[in-house]
Structure 1
Amino acid sequence: MYDRGTRRQALALVAQGRSLNSVSKQIGISRAAIRSWQTRLEPLELNRGKPCPKCADTPTAIKDPSAYAYLLGLYLGDGCISATKQGVYSLRIACADAWPGLIDACVEAVHIARPENRISRVKSAGCQYVTCFSKHWPCLFPQHGPGKKHDRKISLEAWQQEIVDACPWEFIRGLIHSDGCRVINWTTRLVRGERKRYEYPRYFFSNKSDDIRKLFSDTLTAVGVEWTTLARGSDPFNISVARRASVALMDAHVGPKY
């Protein structure tokens, strides 16, 4: 066991851009130990690791339901929760490098959910994984379970549905930012003997989970957005929003990724 001062010194050197190998040699601690301190779930600061609102001695409401609704959408789309040997959980949300503003919004939402916990941006091919360790992710996202989300039942707890009902657009925006997109379609028409090209925007949401697609479409219906299901082969993986009034609503509250 190493004291807090030693651990803080090692992490401070790494934060300066030093390699694990050089820090290991300087302070005489293995790289594996330093690496574990970077992602450890038991925080160094005494004021971290506070219980979440859902598992406190007296459960309370989520302080920022808007940010939670957005994060819930991100999690259901491109997020996963994994257990570690230490009995804590890692939340990972994949965000494409093409949308740096989306990555920042994801980090902010995770920070609001667990303000005392460290958030990392782990680079991968074409994307970054926004990662945060906490014992309380299953409390905040009871949809967590073994296997892939589309292979198990996904439903919202009553308190989650209340948040989605109160903040539907934030939930829709989180789902679009994870598994959706805004695209420009085009077609041609013959006008007075001349073929002209017309462009029009539409939104798509694609997810293998029937339950998650239903959560998305039900919320669209609740806010007055018309939608249709588009099959990929025999699988109805895609939800489309193409009617002009509905696209205008989506543009006003969601917009393209950024």
Structure 2
Amino acid sequence: MSGQPQPTVGLFVTCLVDAIRPQIGFAAIQLLEEAGCRVEVPEAQTCCGQPAFNSGDDRDTARLARQTIAAFEGFDHVVLPSGSCAATMVHGWPELLAGDPDWAARAKAFAAKTHEITSFLVDVLGYTPSGRRLAASATYHDSCSGLRELGVAAQPRALLARVEGLEMRGLPGNDVCCGFGGTFCVKYSDISNAIVTEKAEAIEGTGADLLLAGDLGCLMNMAGKLHRRGARTRCFHAVEVLAGRADGPAIGEEG
């Protein structure tokens, strides 16, 4: 990127990453900086409002949307380590604020510059990691929102293919829901448990050392089920592996 202005990126960390797995945020910053971006993490950010939006609470979702849009408008790009939260911003917010004359255009402009991180690295920056090595086998779960609403599938795999020593194994039903679904797992716990049980069986069947994905909510759900089943599969967000940060406790192993 020599000779070109350094793009500014506002990193939206997401609630779960901030509260449960901050390492994902640090890994995201590392990758973005390696790709030539100037990264900032606005303190005014809170939640994308997805739980409220999915529950029909449009008023609180709109309030969160306006707050976040205002905090991130000065950046060239907005990047998230979550297809789920990114999809809410890209599709949900413009729909929600379409009838607001003061915010409709701002929501559309915000959506146009918002990206899930692996999509941003590959599709916008053309970045590939170098000097990464991990002697392990891994399988990959495609989270629903990132896959279906944002088209995130090839991008994380292209990046992971550059990690020397990492053997990627196919996951049967890789595009099938893990059962988390935000508030779904609370409202319909029995159904959620049945879905994640099938997912865990498929993951164990690959024999892979690691399970990777792009959304922490999905990873927490699958890691919890795998742990309760006594599986030895360790779970990481894809950016942790890409940033060379998969040498510590896996998701669900902290503490």
Q: What TM-score, normalized by structure 2, do the two folds share?
A: 0.24
| More helix as a share of residues | 2
- Structure with the higher fraction of residues in strand conformation: 1
Specify which structure has the bigger relative contact order, considering alpha-carbon pairs within 8 angstroms and separated by 6 or more residues.
Answer: 2
- Which of the two has higher C-alpha Rg? 1
